[in-house]
Protein backbone atom coordinates (compact mmCIF):
# COMPACT_ATOMS: atom_id res chain seq x y z
CA UNK A 1 0.00 0.00 0.00
CA UNK A 2 1.58 3.26 -1.10
CA UNK A 3 1.20 5.91 1.55
CA UNK A 4 3.01 8.90 0.18
CA UNK A 5 5.66 10.59 -1.94
CA UNK A 6 8.80 12.01 -0.42
CA UNK A 7 12.02 13.55 -1.58
CA UNK A 8 13.42 10.06 -1.05
CA UNK A 9 10.96 8.43 -3.41
CA UNK A 10 7.78 6.51 -2.82
CA UNK A 11 7.37 5.11 0.64
CA UNK A 12 4.94 2.29 1.19
CA UNK A 13 3.92 0.63 4.39
CA UNK A 14 4.05 -3.14 4.37
CA UNK A 15 2.50 -4.79 7.41
CA UNK A 16 3.18 -1.48 9.12
CA UNK A 17 6.79 -2.51 9.72
CA UNK A 18 8.81 -1.46 6.71
CA UNK A 19 9.27 1.48 4.43
CA UNK A 20 9.78 0.52 0.79
CA UNK A 21 12.23 2.99 -0.69
CA UNK A 22 12.20 3.60 -4.44
CA UNK A 23 15.41 5.57 -4.09
CA UNK A 24 18.31 4.47 -1.88
CA UNK A 25 18.21 6.11 1.50
CA UNK A 26 21.12 6.83 3.82
CA UNK A 27 20.13 7.18 7.44
CA UNK A 28 22.93 9.02 9.20
CA UNK A 29 22.87 8.37 12.88
CA UNK A 30 24.54 10.96 15.10
CA UNK A 31 25.00 10.72 18.82
CA UNK A 32 27.94 10.81 21.18
CA UNK A 33 29.51 7.55 22.36
CA UNK A 34 26.96 5.92 24.66
CA UNK A 35 23.94 7.69 23.17
CA UNK A 36 22.41 4.40 22.03
CA UNK A 37 23.37 4.63 18.36
CA UNK A 38 24.20 0.94 18.16
CA UNK A 39 20.89 -0.12 19.70
CA UNK A 40 18.82 2.22 17.54
CA UNK A 41 20.69 1.02 14.45
CA UNK A 42 19.72 -2.55 15.23
CA UNK A 43 16.03 -1.55 15.54
CA UNK A 44 16.25 0.34 12.26
CA UNK A 45 17.88 -2.65 10.52
CA UNK A 46 15.06 -4.89 11.65
CA UNK A 47 12.38 -2.41 10.66
CA UNK A 48 13.71 -1.20 7.31
CA UNK A 49 15.64 -4.32 6.24
CA UNK A 50 18.71 -2.31 5.28
CA UNK A 51 22.19 -2.90 6.73
CA UNK A 52 23.87 -1.00 9.52
CA UNK A 53 27.30 0.27 8.57
CA UNK A 54 29.23 0.92 11.76
CA UNK A 55 32.74 2.19 11.14
CA UNK A 56 33.59 1.39 14.79
CA UNK A 57 32.55 -2.26 14.29
CA UNK A 58 34.44 -2.51 11.00
CA UNK A 59 37.59 -1.11 12.60
CA UNK A 60 37.28 -3.40 15.63
CA UNK A 61 36.91 -6.36 13.27
CA UNK A 62 40.23 -5.46 11.63
CA UNK A 63 41.85 -5.35 15.06
CA UNK A 64 40.30 -8.70 16.00
CA UNK A 65 41.67 -10.22 12.80
CA UNK A 66 45.09 -8.70 13.47
CA UNK A 67 45.52 -7.73 9.81
CA UNK A 68 47.63 -4.83 8.52
CA UNK A 69 44.84 -2.28 8.99
CA UNK A 70 44.12 -3.63 12.47
CA UNK A 71 47.75 -3.33 13.53
CA UNK A 72 47.99 0.21 12.14
CA UNK A 73 44.93 1.50 14.02
CA UNK A 74 45.14 -0.40 17.30
CA UNK A 75 46.96 2.27 19.31
CA UNK A 76 44.72 5.13 18.15
CA UNK A 77 41.54 3.16 18.83
CA UNK A 78 42.72 2.11 22.29
CA UNK A 79 43.45 5.76 23.12
CA UNK A 80 40.01 6.85 21.93
CA UNK A 81 41.42 8.90 19.04
CA UNK A 82 39.91 8.98 15.59
CA UNK A 83 41.58 6.98 12.83
CA UNK A 84 42.37 8.62 9.49
CA UNK A 85 39.66 10.00 7.23
CA UNK A 86 41.19 8.19 4.25
CA UNK A 87 40.84 4.81 5.90
CA UNK A 88 37.21 5.19 7.06
CA UNK A 89 36.17 6.81 3.77
CA UNK A 90 37.59 3.82 1.92
CA UNK A 91 35.92 1.30 4.25
CA UNK A 92 32.53 3.01 3.86
CA UNK A 93 32.92 3.30 0.09
CA UNK A 94 33.60 -0.44 -0.20
CA UNK A 95 30.80 -1.36 2.16
CA UNK A 96 28.03 0.69 0.48
CA UNK A 97 28.87 -0.95 -2.82
CA UNK A 98 27.95 -4.38 -1.46
CA UNK A 99 24.70 -5.84 -2.87
CA UNK A 100 22.83 -5.70 0.45
CA UNK A 101 23.28 -1.90 0.66
CA UNK A 102 21.68 -1.07 -2.69
CA UNK A 103 18.27 -0.09 -1.23
CA UNK A 104 19.83 1.95 1.51
CA UNK A 105 21.92 1.74 4.66
CA UNK A 106 22.33 3.12 8.13
CA UNK A 107 25.55 4.96 8.85
CA UNK A 108 26.50 4.54 12.49
CA UNK A 109 29.56 6.51 13.59
CA UNK A 110 30.25 8.04 10.18
CA UNK A 111 30.82 10.82 9.21
CA UNK A 112 32.78 12.05 12.22
CA UNK A 113 34.77 14.94 10.66
CA UNK A 114 34.08 17.62 8.01
CA UNK A 115 36.33 15.76 5.53
CA UNK A 116 34.29 12.59 6.03
CA UNK A 117 31.01 14.52 5.68
CA UNK A 118 32.18 15.97 2.37
CA UNK A 119 33.17 12.57 1.07
CA UNK A 120 29.88 11.10 2.23
CA UNK A 121 27.81 13.75 0.44
CA UNK A 122 29.81 13.04 -2.70
CA UNK A 123 29.23 9.28 -2.38
CA UNK A 124 25.51 9.76 -1.79
CA UNK A 125 25.13 12.12 -4.74
CA UNK A 126 26.94 9.60 -6.97
CA UNK A 127 24.56 6.88 -5.78
CA UNK A 128 21.44 9.04 -6.13
CA UNK A 129 20.74 8.41 -2.46
CA UNK A 130 18.84 10.82 -0.21
CA UNK A 131 19.89 11.32 3.38
CA UNK A 132 17.98 11.56 6.63
CA UNK A 133 20.01 12.71 9.61
CA UNK A 134 18.99 11.31 12.99
CA UNK A 135 20.55 12.92 16.06
CA UNK A 136 20.30 11.24 19.46
CA UNK A 137 20.74 13.98 22.05
CA UNK A 138 22.06 12.79 25.43
CA UNK A 139 23.24 14.58 28.59
CA UNK A 140 27.02 14.25 29.35
CA UNK A 141 26.53 12.84 32.89
CA UNK A 142 23.97 10.32 31.70
CA UNK A 143 26.52 9.07 29.19
CA UNK A 144 29.30 8.61 31.73
CA UNK A 145 27.08 6.55 34.02
CA UNK A 146 25.67 4.56 31.11
CA UNK A 147 29.01 3.66 29.61
CA UNK A 148 30.57 2.53 32.85
CA UNK A 149 27.87 -0.19 32.95
CA UNK A 150 28.27 -1.23 29.36
CA UNK A 151 29.26 -4.79 28.41
CA UNK A 152 29.51 -6.52 25.05
CA UNK A 153 29.44 -10.12 23.90
CA UNK A 154 32.83 -10.79 22.24
CA UNK A 155 31.23 -13.47 20.05
CA UNK A 156 28.03 -11.95 18.61
CA UNK A 157 28.51 -8.25 19.42
CA UNK A 158 25.27 -7.85 21.41
CA UNK A 159 25.43 -4.84 23.74
CA UNK A 160 24.19 -4.93 27.33
CA UNK A 161 23.94 -2.35 30.06
CA UNK A 162 23.76 -2.98 33.79
CA UNK A 163 20.93 -0.45 34.13
CA UNK A 164 19.01 -0.19 30.89
CA UNK A 165 19.55 -3.59 29.30
CA UNK A 166 20.91 -6.20 31.72
CA UNK A 167 21.50 -9.77 30.52
CA UNK A 168 19.24 -12.45 32.03
CA UNK A 169 22.25 -13.93 33.84
CA UNK A 170 24.82 -11.45 35.15
CA UNK A 171 27.87 -11.27 32.90
CA UNK A 172 26.60 -13.81 30.35
CA UNK A 173 25.27 -13.23 26.82
CA UNK A 174 21.58 -14.18 26.47
CA UNK A 175 22.09 -15.37 22.92
CA UNK A 176 25.16 -17.62 23.06
CA UNK A 177 26.22 -18.00 26.71
CA UNK A 178 29.55 -16.23 26.13
CA UNK A 179 31.08 -14.23 29.02
CA UNK A 180 30.53 -10.51 28.49
CA UNK A 181 33.50 -8.14 28.41
CA UNK A 182 34.17 -4.39 28.79
CA UNK A 183 35.31 -2.94 25.50
CA UNK A 184 38.79 -1.44 25.80
CA UNK A 185 37.42 1.88 24.56
CA UNK A 186 34.62 1.92 27.19
CA UNK A 187 37.07 2.53 30.08
CA UNK A 188 36.26 5.81 31.84
CA UNK A 189 39.42 7.73 30.80
CA UNK A 190 38.90 6.59 27.23
CA UNK A 191 35.20 7.51 27.40
CA UNK A 192 36.07 11.07 28.44
CA UNK A 193 38.56 11.30 25.61
CA UNK A 194 35.98 10.03 23.11
CA UNK A 195 33.37 12.52 24.37
CA UNK A 196 35.85 15.33 24.04
CA UNK A 197 36.68 14.22 20.49
CA UNK A 198 33.00 14.02 19.69
CA UNK A 199 32.28 17.52 20.96
CA UNK A 200 35.22 18.99 19.12
CA UNK A 201 35.00 17.21 15.77
CA UNK A 202 31.50 15.90 15.30
CA UNK A 203 29.24 18.46 16.98
CA UNK A 204 30.07 21.01 14.24
CA UNK A 205 28.74 18.53 11.70
CA UNK A 206 25.41 18.52 13.46
CA UNK A 207 25.35 22.29 13.28
CA UNK A 208 26.05 21.94 9.58
CA UNK A 209 23.19 19.48 9.03
CA UNK A 210 20.87 21.63 11.19
CA UNK A 211 21.44 24.48 8.77
CA UNK A 212 21.47 22.53 5.51
CA UNK A 213 19.43 19.34 5.79
CA UNK A 214 15.70 19.36 5.29
CA UNK A 215 15.51 15.92 6.76
CA UNK A 216 16.84 16.08 10.30
CA UNK A 217 15.29 14.24 13.23
CA UNK A 218 16.52 15.23 16.71
CA UNK A 219 15.44 12.98 19.54
CA UNK A 220 16.08 13.37 23.28
CA UNK A 221 17.61 10.00 24.18
CA UNK A 222 18.66 10.81 27.76
CA UNK A 223 15.86 9.43 29.85
CA UNK A 224 13.55 7.21 27.85
CA UNK A 225 14.00 3.51 27.24
CA UNK A 226 15.50 2.53 23.86
CA UNK A 227 12.11 1.24 22.61
CA UNK A 228 10.49 4.64 23.27
CA UNK A 229 13.36 6.47 21.57
CA UNK A 230 12.88 4.20 18.57
CA UNK A 231 9.17 5.04 18.39
CA UNK A 232 10.11 8.72 18.14
CA UNK A 233 12.58 8.01 15.37
CA UNK A 234 9.95 6.00 13.51
CA UNK A 235 7.39 8.76 13.72
CA UNK A 236 10.05 11.27 12.65
CA UNK A 237 10.83 9.15 9.57
CA UNK A 238 7.17 8.71 8.79
CA UNK A 239 6.78 12.46 9.23
CA UNK A 240 8.70 12.92 5.99
CA UNK A 241 5.94 11.18 4.08
CA UNK A 242 4.09 13.69 1.98
CA UNK A 243 6.90 16.26 1.89
Stretch that binds ligand AMP, among 14-22, 73-81, 121-129, 130-138 (CB under 6 A): 73-81
CA distance 143 to 215: 26
CB of 81 to ligand AMP, least distance (A): 6
Stretch that binds ligand AMP, among 108-116, 149-157, 170-178, 212-220 (CB under 6 A): 108-116
- 191 lies in the site for ligand AMP, by CB under 6 A: no
> H helices then E strands: how many in the chain?
9, 9
- 31 lies in the site for ligand AMP, by CB under 6 A: no
Please enumerate in sequence order all residues whose Cβ is within 8 A of that of 116, keeping only pairs 6 or more positions apart, or say none. Answer: 85, 88, 89, 110
Q: Say whether 103 is catalytic.
A: no
Q: Say whether 112 is catalytic.
A: yes
Nearer to ligand AMP, 23 or 187 (CB): 187
Among 108, 102, 99, which residue's Cα sits nearest to residue 127?
102
Give the active site residue among 146, 151, 194, 215: 194
CA distance 234 to 57: 24
Nearer to ligand AMP, 8 or 83 (CB): 83
Relative to beta strand 159-161, strand 150-152 is antiparallel
Q: Say whether 194 is catalytic.
A: yes
Among 161, 142, 163, which residue's Cα sits nearest to residue 153?
161
Give the footprint of ligand AMP on this chain (CB under 6 A).
33, 55-56, 59, 76-77, 80-83, 88, 109-110, 112, 116, 185, 194
Catalytic sites, residue numbers? 37, 112, 150, 183, 194
Amino acid sequence: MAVGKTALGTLASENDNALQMAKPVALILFGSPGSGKGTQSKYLVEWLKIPQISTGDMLREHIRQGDTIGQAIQARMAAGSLVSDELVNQLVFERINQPDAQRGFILDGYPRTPAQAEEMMRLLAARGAGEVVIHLVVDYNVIISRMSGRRVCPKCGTLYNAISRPPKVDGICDLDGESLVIREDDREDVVRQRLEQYERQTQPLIEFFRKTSERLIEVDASHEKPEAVFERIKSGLQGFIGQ
